[in-house]
Amino acid sequence: MARAGASTVAIVGAGAVGATLAYALLMQGAARRVVLHDVNRAKVEAEALDLAHGIQFMPHAQIIGSDDVEACRDADVVVITAGAKQRPGQTRLDLAASTVGLMRTLVPRLTAVAPDAIFLMVTNPVDIVTQAALAISGLPREQLFGSGTVLDTSRLRYRIAQETGIAASNVHAYVVGEHGDSELVLWSSAMIGAVPLLDWSSTHAPLLDEPSRTAIAEEVVTAAYRIIEGKGATNYAVALAAVGIIQAVLRAENRVLPVSTLLTDYVGISDVCLSVPTVVGGDGAQERLLPPMTPSEQAGLRASAEHIRAVGRELGF
C-alpha cells in the first residue's frame, strides 16, 4: 500500500477524460508522480508538457507523458480511460465489442509492468470492460474494479441538493447497478442528514414526491447523453469522481463508494460486475455493503445484472 505523498498514478489514455484526470490529480496533490500513457506520442507528450508548464501553480509533483508502457512500471494505481469514443445517441453497451478487443491487448502489457498496482477501469461500458479485464488479467476483484456509478451517485446527490436546498455533502443516496441505462436509485435507503429521504419528502411536500423522484432518476440516467450531445464528451465530473476513488486507495480512507466489482451472491447476484456500495481503501475494493432494499429495488438490481450478463455472454465471458 502506497502513501499518497510518494505515490505514482499511471493514466492510460490521453483523451478528454485521461488528460482531465491528470490535471485534477495534480491540482489536488493526490499523487507525487503522474504518468500519462497513450499510443499517440505527439498527443500525450503535448498534454504532459502543457500540464508541466503549470507545475509551479500546483502542489509539488512530476508529470510524464509517454507512448511507452514502461513509463507505467511499478505504478501504485493504474487508471484505464482508453477506449472508443461514445457518439451522440450511442449507448455505453454499444461500445462493448471494440473496447473489449482493445483490453485484450492493453491489460496484459500493463499487468506485466505494474503487477501490484490497484487497477481502476473508467473506460465505458465500464461494467463490461471491468469484467473483461478481470478475465483477461486473472487479478482478484479487490485489485481490479471499475469506477461504476460513483459519478451517477454524484449526479443524483447534486439534483437532490438542488431540489431541497440541502448541501450535497449531507445527501446520502446511491445509484446502483449498471453504469448506464438499467441503473437504479435506492430511494428506500436514501437519507437527508439523519432523516430518511422518504420521510423528509412527506413533511416537505411536494418536494421529492414520487413524480419528482422519477424525473430525477431519469435525469441521472440520461445526463451523459445530454452532455455528449452538447460538447461531444463528458470529462470534468468523471475525472473528479476518479480522483475520489484514487484518493480512497492511496490514503487508505475506507470510503463507501458504489464502484463496479465482480459480485458473489449479492441479493442472489453472482458472476457479474455491477456497482453496489463498497468499502474502498488501501487494498482496493473491499467489503460490499448491503443497504436495505425494497423487493422492487432488488428486482431492478437483478434486472440490471441480467442486462450486463447478456452482453457478457455475447462477448464470450
Residue 153 annotated as binding site: yes
Residue 286 annotated as binding site: no
Backbone φ, ψ for residue 233 (5° rounding): -165, 155
Alpha carbon 126 to its chain centroid, in Å, reads 8
Cα(125)–Cα(272) distance, integer angstroms: 13
Q: Which of 160, 91, 82 is nearest to 120 (CA)?
A: 82
Residue 199 annotated as binding site: no
Residue 125 annotated as binding site: yes
Residue 92 annotated as binding site: yes
Cα(144)–Cα(115) distance, integer angstroms: 11
Residue 37 annotated as binding site: no
Residue 17 annotated as binding site: yes
Residue 234 annotated as binding site: yes
Cα(298)–Cα(114) distance, integer angstroms: 37
Residue 181 annotated as binding site: no
Residue 43 annotated as binding site: yes
Yes or no: say if 10 and 71 are a contact pair by the CB < 8 Å rule: yes
Residue 189 annotated as binding site: no
179 is known as an active-site residue: yes
Residue 283 annotated as binding site: no
Going across the sheet that includes 171-172, the strands are 171-172, 191-192, 195-196
Cα(97)–Cα(129) distance, integer angstroms: 9
Residue 122 annotated as binding site: yes
**Amino acid (one-letter) located at 195:** V
Residue 231 annotated as binding site: no
Helix (H) or strand (E) holding 243: helix 236-250
Yes or no: say if 274 and 171 are a contact pair by the CB < 8 Å rule: no
Yes or no: say if 284 and 64 are a contact pair by the CB < 8 Å rule: no
Cα(288)–Cα(304) distance, integer angstroms: 17
Residue 8 annotated as binding site: no
Active-site choice (53, 179, 204, 307): 179
Question: Which residues are bridge partners to 260 per DSSP?
Answer: 146, 275
Q: Which residues are catalytic?
A: 179
The annotated binding site for NAD(+) is made up of 17, 38, 43, 83-84, 105, 122-124, 147
The annotated binding site for substrate is made up of 86, 92, 124-127, 152-155, 234
The annotated binding site for beta-D-fructose 1,6-bisphosphate is made up of 157, 172
The annotated binding site is made up of 17, 38, 43, 83-84, 86, 92, 105, 122-127, 147, 152-155, 157, 172, 234
